Amino acid sequence: MKVTLFMAVSLNGFIARKDGEEDFLSHDNWNSFSELVNSHKNFVIGRKTYEAVKKWGEEYSFDDFTNAKKIVVSKNKDYKLDKGYILASSPEEAINIFKEQGAEKALITGGSNLNTAFAKKGLINEIILNIEPKIIGEGIPLFFTDKFDLELELKDIKELGKGLLQVRYEVG
């Protein structure tokens, strides 16, 4: 199972503003995310990301990915999700659900706390970042601060449009 972490960041490594807003991310970025979801046919998000994106309205909705298996991770085993979402109580459980369904790859896509949980457990094989040509002064970081390191090998860099850079690394 190849596990890819995909995230969109400001140039200074924030994934959202302090209040959770992602207004600095572009439509090109959303299109790029959509392509990755369509090729993986699955993704995993943290409970707080699930709640944040639900508030965005119809233009940017996870509900539109009807062909993708969508897992939300929460420690609360009674957490109620909308139809079309699957609950997992840990990163390992999320990966096992996909494995049992026969998936060969999985897409992890935030937020900060979930990224750190996967990183600390050594579950990430690849990282793809879309770097927006923006710096925001305050925000939520790509990884929540904790004790871990990842060794990375750069595999690809491309410009997706209007200064949006995509970098891809393998995790050693």
Q: Smallest distance, Å, CB 140 to ligand NAP?
A: 5
Q: Smallest distance, Å, CB 142 to ligand NAP?
A: 8
3-state secondary structure 59-76: CCCHHHCCCCEEEEECCC
Among 3, 24, 42, 47, binds ligand NAP (CB under 6 A): 47
Half-sphere exposure at residue 116, Cβ-oriented, CA atoms within 13 angstroms: 12
Contact status: 114 vs ligand NAP (CB under 6 A) = yes
Nearest residue to 115 (alpha-carbon basis) of 132, 128, 101, 103 = 128
Instruction: Specify whether the backbone of 162 is left (phi greater than 0), alpha (psi in -120 to 50) or beta.
Output: left
Nearer to ligand NAP, 102 or 110 (CB): 110
Site string for ligand NAP, 72-91 (x = CB under 6 A): -xxxx--x---------xxx
Contact stretch for ligand NAP (CB under 6 A) within 44-52, 61-69, 98-106, 151-159: 44-52
Q: Closest-CB residue for ligand NAP? A: 111
> 139 preceded by cis ω (within 30°)?
no
C-beta pairs of 97-100 under 8 Å, 24+ apart in sequence = 97/69, 97/71, 98/1, 98/42, 98/69, 98/71, 99/1
d(CA 56, CA 61): 7
Among 36, 113, 167, 168, binds ligand NAP (CB under 6 A): 113
Among 42, 110, 119, 123, binds ligand NAP (CB under 6 A): 110
Among 109, 126, 128, 164, binds ligand NAP (CB under 6 A): 109
Give the binding site for ligand NAP (CB under 6 A).
7-8, 15-16, 20, 22, 25, 45-49, 52, 73-76, 79, 89-91, 109-114, 117, 140, 144
